[in-house]
Amino acid sequence: MPTLTWTADLALSHQQMDTTHEEFVELLGATEVALVDSNDAALTAYDALLAHTIDHFGQEDRWMTATGFSPENCHSFQHAQVLGLMHEVSRMAREQGDFGPLERVLPELAGWFRAHAQTMDAALAAHLDQVGYDVTTGAIARPPAAAGMTGCGGASCSPAPAPAPGATTAA
Ligand SMILES: [Fe+2]
Ligand SMILES: [Fe+2]
């Protein structure tokens, strides 16, 4: 049984972001289910999750830089932290045959995603709506007054903590 399933409270009223997030939740759940079958199946499913997450985070990072965020903003920084952890988990499974980190990181990612979506991603969705950003054409109806924003796009910066690095070490 997956730790996280798609529910209406995860939706952010941003069609492209919600579609991507629903796919993330499905791929994460599929990896948890595959882990019950075999390590090989889990690694294949995890690779699909990782590839999707690279695109998912890249998409949001591009939207942020296109609408006035500094490349060093805290939301993109957290994406980089999570991707670094996910790559390390993949490396340990593949090169060392250690699937413990992969097993531990899946529920960590589920908890992290829920918080991240409801804080940083929600703030980004509100910002994109505010500036009238068209994700298809890249047009901005109401360009932001400030450029080089480093916060999350909300009134305050309230990042959800990234999954603990301890996910890659033995419990
Ligand atoms: Fe996201
Ligand atoms: Fe995000």
One-letter amino acid at 63 equals W
More confident residue, 117 or 1: 117
120 lies in some domain: yes
Residue pointed to by tokens 């939207």: 63
Using the mean position of ligand 1's atoms as its centre, give its distance from the Cα of residue 113 in Å.
Answer: 8
Give the CATH number of the domain where residue 150 resides. 1.20.120.50
Using the mean position of ligand 1's atoms as its centre, give its distance from the Cα of residue 108 in Å.
Answer: 16
1 lies in some domain: no
Using the mean position of ligand 1's atoms as its centre, give its distance from the Cα of residue 80 in Å.
Answer: 12
What value does the mean pLDDT take over residues 42-48?
97
* Helix residue spans in the chain (DSSP H): 15-37, 39-66, 74-96, 100-116, 122-131
Using the mean position of ligand 1's atoms as its centre, give its distance from the Cα of residue 145 in Å.
Answer: 24
How much is the CA Rg of the chain, to the nearest whole Å?
A: 17
Using the mean position of ligand 1's atoms as its centre, give its distance from the Cα of residue 6 in Å.
Answer: 13
- In this prediction the pTM is 0.90
Using the mean position of ligand 2's atoms as its centre, give its distance from the Cα of residue 107 in Å.
Answer: 18
Q: 138 lies in which domain range?
A: 11-168
- pLDDT for 163 equals 75
2 lies in some domain: no
pLDDT digits (tens, 9 = 90+) for 47-67: 999 999 999 999 999 999 999
| Number of folded domains that form the chain | 1
107 lies in some domain: yes
- Nearest-10 crossing angle of helices 15-37, 100-116: 160
Using the mean position of ligand 2's atoms as its centre, give its distance from the Cα of residue 101 in Å.
Answer: 22
CA distance 134 to 1: 37
pLDDT digits (tens, 9 = 90+) for 18-29: 999 999 999 999
Using the mean position of ligand 1's atoms as its centre, give its distance from the Cα of residue 164 in Å.
Answer: 18
| pLDDT over 70, % of the chain | 88
Average pLDDT, the chain: 91
